Structure 1
Amino acid sequence: MSNKVQQANTFVLFGHCVRIRFEVFVMEQNVPSHEELTGQEDEFIHFIAQDTTSKDYIGTALYEVIDDQIIHIRRVAVSKSHRNQGIGQMLIDYIEQFARTKGFKVSELDAQVQAIPFYEKLGYVVDSDVFLDAGIEHRTMKKDLQ
């Protein structure tokens, strides 16, 4: 199986991002649908992963610019049938490289507690106590992109 990640910079690709997020967060994790789409979507940089063999869109993530140094990665989601195949890491790696080319120095994210080991393997360090987001326990994590 071959996969690729790209910026979701068209309305059609953005629609696939929303579908994956709805599938993962709303259907699987019971996040209220009104919390999933914030109305600020046009302020974020969206990315999508595709299985280049089947042409299926299988994962998504986005980042928000915090300031001229920091991005905040959000809404990392991989379709259930494609988990544990490196898609999440591929998305994070691509976003980090994309952000580096734009001059960003730090990446931060709010990880669901059960996903912390995944992000630690990618070099992220816990930087907060546990807090609830949409009823799910999270902790903020950070990584130096330099």
Structure 2
Amino acid sequence: METCKTRTIVRAVLKKQEASPDLLANRTGSSHDYSRRQLMQTAPNIVHGDWKTYQHEAERVRAMVFIAEQKVPRELEFDEDDKTAEHFISFDARHMVTGCARLLDNGRIGRVAVLRPFRGRGIGEAVMKTVLERAKARGMKDVHLAAQVQAMPFYERLGFEPFGDEFDEAGIPHRMMRLVF
């Protein structure tokens, strides 16, 4: 029952509509407690589409994570692959952009990022699982990515295995990783 109620609330919030007070009320009768606590624990809403549709959202996340935080030059961060990639964008229950990723036609996953305030909440994992489901649906036999070395344990938990030697990309140590379906 709680799951169904939460989904209905999230749909209402994403549509920027008011949820009815009785829907928001939790067991103690406090709508404020329910909406703040439950909405923040709701799984992210993840959408996917082309660059034209999600350019603004992807650029915002990537500029904050890669350019501002990690000092990746803008000319390296945004490339021609963006125009042909399938982009994945995550939103929280308040419809705030929280993360992103992209999938190229050759099975390469890239530009996986979650905004700092939203890290540690399972958003990156949810985005990656959506990317992997989409890759399978598109008939890909495997996917690969250039993982920042510090992020390798995250990808290993998703089933990726490292291959090749460590290399530098934009001043950050990376290693190739692959997942065979």
Indicate if the aligned counterparts of 2:87 and 2:102 stay in contact, CA closer than 8 A: yes
Indicate if the aligned counterparts of 2:50 and 2:85 stay in contact, CA closer than 8 A: no
2:81 pairs with 1:40: yes
User: 1:18 is matched with which residue?
Assistant: 59
Aligned residues: 140
Indicate if the aligned counterparts of 1:49 and 1:58 stay in contact, CA closer than 8 A: yes
Q: Deviations over 1:76-130 (max 9, x none)?
A: 0000000011111101100110111111110101100000011111100001110
SS at match of 2:147: strand
SS at match of 2:143: strand
Bigger share in strand: 1
2:159 pairs with 1:143: no
Distance 2:102 2:108 in 1: 8
Choose the corresponding residue for 2:149, options 109, 113, 134: 113
Deviation for aligned residue 1:43: 1.4
2:99 pairs with 1:63: no
Deviation for aligned residue 1:4: 1.2
2:109 pairs with 1:73: yes
| Larger RCO of the pair (alpha carbons < 8 Å, separation 6+) | 1
Q: TM-score, normalised by structure 2?
A: 0.74
- For 1:60, give the aligned amino acid: C
2:174 pairs with 1:131: no
Q: TM-score, normalised by structure 1?
A: 0.91
SS at match of 1:59: strand
Structure 1: state its 5+ residue gaps.
none
How big is the alpha-carbon RMSD for the aligned residues of Structure 1 and Structure 2?
A: 1.2
> % of aligned pairs identical?
34
Which structure has the larger Rg?
Answer: 2
